[in-house]
Amino acid sequence: MKVRFETTDGAIVEAEASPGERLLDVGQRIGMPLEGTCEGQMACATCHVVVSPRDFALLPQAAEEEEDMLDLALNAARTSRLSCQIVLQQENDGLTVRIP
């Protein structure tokens, strides 16, 4: 499956991913600036992404802890998520996220 990252300069970078992979791991593998400092423990927002509105509805709802961390993220939007909390499924093929 493929996922797309829109960089801060507007470029689109596609990556191959497998169902069950975390979006954070996919992004880090291709060099996206997603730190993931807390290693997925929801103790930071360094892996914040903005999901395209079309794809946002296909993701499970964010947990309250994730919402709390997103309140601290710079440039958070209505469709913001922590990429460490997005476990890709086949229905996410073509997922597009923007690096804020």
Q: What pLDDT does 42 receive?
A: 87
What are the sequence ranges of the domains in the chain?
A: 2-98
Q: How many CB atoms lie within 10 A of CB 58?
A: 14
Residue 69 C-beta-side C-alpha neighbours within 13 Å: 23
d(CA 28, CA 54): 23
Portion of the chain with pLDDT greater than 90, in percent = 89
Which CATH fold would you assign to the domain 2-98? Ubiquitin-like (UB roll) (3.10.20)
Stated pTM of the model: 0.94
Q: pLDDT tens across 30-75, in order?
A: 999 999 888 888 889 999 999 999 999 999 999 999 999 999 998 9
Q: What pLDDT does 32 receive?
A: 97
Q: How many CB atoms lie within 10 A of CB 48?
A: 24
Instruction: State the average pLDDT for the chain.
Output: 95
Q: What pLDDT does 47 receive?
A: 96
Q: How many residues does the chain have?
A: 100
